[in-house]
């Protein structure tokens, strides 16, 4: 079997040429193993680095989005307002406003904390979905998640205490417990 290797490009597209080599199971036409080809490995690492840079430019983290949302209110939120509206500890407010933005961006936020934040800001369904996605979460079709989604459609703007009262009545685990 002829093993493909890359000799030249036409525009930005690599063209395969054939050389005689013993057959190998992991090599097929148009595929060059990064294990056996250092140039291919470097190209793939370069592409990965570009994809990571693009993702970081276009992705907004939960910390950045939360900070932007808290600043958007007529009276920007303080740690006290944050704790009162979300029933989250003030320390989470300071973690969002961390001086080391990269640390805040890379922090793993709990589903409950993100949900409490969404209820606290009075998010509608679209905004809640965006905030949840920024933290890596999505509401699924479980009964609990449907009830949580109901908070953003039929109880938008209600306090977290009212929402928790409703969740308890619906036999769903309340937020913050």
Q: What share of the chain is helix, strand, coil (3-state, %, to 5)?
A: 55, 10, 35
Domain locations along the chain: 2-58, 62-169
Please choose, from the candidates 110, 109, 108, 111, the residue with its C-alpha nearest in 3D space to the C-alpha of residue 145: 111
Q: What is the pLDDT of residues 44-102, one digit of tens each?
A: 888 888 887 777 666 788 888 999 999 998 888 999 999 999 999 999 999 888 777 77
What is the assigned CATH class of domain 62-169? mainly alpha
Q: What is the pLDDT of residues 3-33, one digit of tens each?
A: 555 554 445 444 454 444 444 444 444 566 7
**1: helix, coil or strand?**
coil
Strand (E) or helix (H) holding 102: helix 101-106
- Structure pTM? 0.68
The pLDDT of residue 34 is: 60
Q: Please identify which residue in the block is written with the tokens 């395969």.
A: 16
**Distance from C-alpha of 42 to C-alpha of 59, rounded to nearest angstrom:** 25
Strand (E) or helix (H) holding 152: helix 143-153
């Amino acid at each position: 079997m002829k093993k493909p290797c890359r000799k030249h490009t036409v525009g930005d597209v690599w063209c395969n040429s054939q050389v005689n080599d013993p057959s190998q199971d992991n090599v097929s036409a148009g595929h060059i193993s990064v294990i056996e080809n250092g140039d291919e490995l470097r190209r793939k690492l370069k592409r990965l680095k570009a994809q990571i840079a693009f993702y970081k430019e276009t992705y907004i983290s939960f910390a950045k989005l939360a900070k932007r949302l808290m600043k958007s209110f007529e009276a920007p939120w303080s740690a006290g307002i944050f704790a009162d509206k979300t029933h989250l500890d003030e320390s989470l407010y300071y973690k969002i406003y961390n001086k080391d933005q990269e640390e805040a961006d890379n922090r793993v936020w709990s589903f409950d904390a993100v949900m409490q934040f969404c209820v606290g800001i009075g998010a509608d369904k679209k905004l809640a979905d965006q905030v949840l996605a920024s933290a890596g979460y999505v509401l699924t079709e479980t009964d609990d998640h449907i009830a949580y989604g109901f908070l953003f459609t039929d109880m938008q703007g209600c306090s977290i205490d009212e929402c928790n009262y409703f969740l308890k009545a619906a036999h769903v685990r309340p937020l913050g417990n």
